[in-house]
Amino acid sequence: ELGSFDKDINKIMPEYVKSFQFENSLLPSTWIVVRIDGCHFHRFSDVHEFEKPNDELALNLMNSAAVAVVEEFNDIIFSYGVSDEYSFVLKKDSWLYERHASQLVSAIVSLFTSMYVLKWKDYFPHKELKYQPYFDARAVCYPSSDILQDYLAWRQVDCHINNQYNTSFWMLVKSGKSKSEAQKCLKGTFAKEKNELLASQFSIDYNTMPVMFRLGSSVFWDKEEKMVDEAEVAGKFRKKIVVEHCNIIEKSFWKEHYHILE
């Protein structure tokens, strides 16, 4: 019933229609960061009654989705997540999807989302997933490993600042203050003051709170212990994906894990 039309269109049109396609190719030899962010996750976490200010299970679910992404795309050499965001770092010389921004961004965000929904029941066996969560994403290039490390440090500092604020905020709310009263209390306070407030009013030592809340999560391929009894050649290591909550602002982390940015 498409009649002769398909022959005609097949001969001439596709080239013209395709000429409108364009590729935004990311500069070669630069570190690509794809950062995904939850869309409307404020509402999503309310509806699904996530614990405030941090829901450990929800964070573990994010981490597990990130592990799946790191497993699937070999060119991802590091990833860092906090709250409802995750940054994936592709190695400098990756040619994944020919470095086309749209495809990199879409494939990574889609796989992450897929895993998030698929694994939901593992982390929340007694909580129904009431509607579909989704994320948006963007790509950024960093031309040197120094600036890349600055980028990651920036995300971890953000994690720290937000967590300190949110912890103080929710403690005040749970102690009976209204949300706007709690906001007023914290307005303009410095890190030190928030720590003192937590200590004096709530007997909380901020530095003893769970490290995942304070430092976020890093997912990367690490070197496993050398297994001598499996007759491995000395100096050879097996690699496995690890989820750690370490200080990535300090240069010592990058020195110790020098293989990541090599």
Tell which positions 187-226 bind a copy of itself, by CB under 8 A.
191, 207, 214
Q: Which of 83, 94, 113, 195 binds a copy of itself (CB under 8 A)?
A: 113
The footprint of a copy of itself on residues 129-158 (CB under 8 A) is 129, 131-144, 147, 150-151, 153-154, 156-157
User: At closest approach, how far in Å is the CB of 259 from a copy of itself?
Assistant: 20
Burial class (CB in 10 A: 0-12, 13-18, 19+), 33: buried
The site for a copy of itself, by CB under 8 A, has a size of 71
User: At closest approach, how far in Å is the CB of 116 from a copy of itself?
Assistant: 8
Pairing state between β 76-82 and 217-223: antiparallel
Q: Choose one: 29-37, 172-180, 218-226, 234-242; the region binding a copy of itself (CB under 8 A).
A: 29-37
User: At closest approach, how far in Å is the CB of 29 from a copy of itself?
Assistant: 5
The DSSP letter of residue 209 is S
The footprint of a copy of itself on residues 160-189 (CB under 8 A) is 160-161
Task: Count CA atoms closer than 13 A to 70's CA, side-chain side.
Answer: 25
**Which structure tokens are listed for 24?**
């935004």
User: At closest approach, how far in Å is the CB of 181 from a copy of itself?
Assistant: 26
The footprint of a copy of itself on residues 35-94 (CB under 8 A) is 36, 39, 68
Question: Does 237 participate in binding a copy of itself (rule CB under 8 A)?
Answer: no
Binding mask 240-259 for a copy of itself (x = CB under 8 A): -------x-x----------
**Which structure tokens are listed for 234?**
């000395």
User: At closest approach, how far in Å is the CB of 180 from a copy of itself?
Assistant: 25
Alpha-helical segments (H) within the chain: 5-18, 41-47, 56-72, 101-123, 145-174, 179-186, 191-202, 211-215, 251-256
Question: Does 25 participate in binding a copy of itself (rule CB under 8 A)?
Answer: yes
Name, in order, each residue with C-beta under 8 angstroms of 166's C-beta and a sequence gap of 6 or more.
52, 53, 54
User: At closest approach, how far in Å is the CB of 105 from a copy of itself?
Assistant: 5
Q: What value, to the nearest 5°, has the Cα angle with vertex 138 and ends 159 and 152?
A: 35
DSSP string covering 3-47: TTHHHHHHHHHHHHHHTT----BPPTTSEEEEEEEESSHHHHHHH
Q: Choose one: 11-19, 55-63, 219-227, 254-262; the region binding a copy of itself (CB under 8 A).
A: 11-19
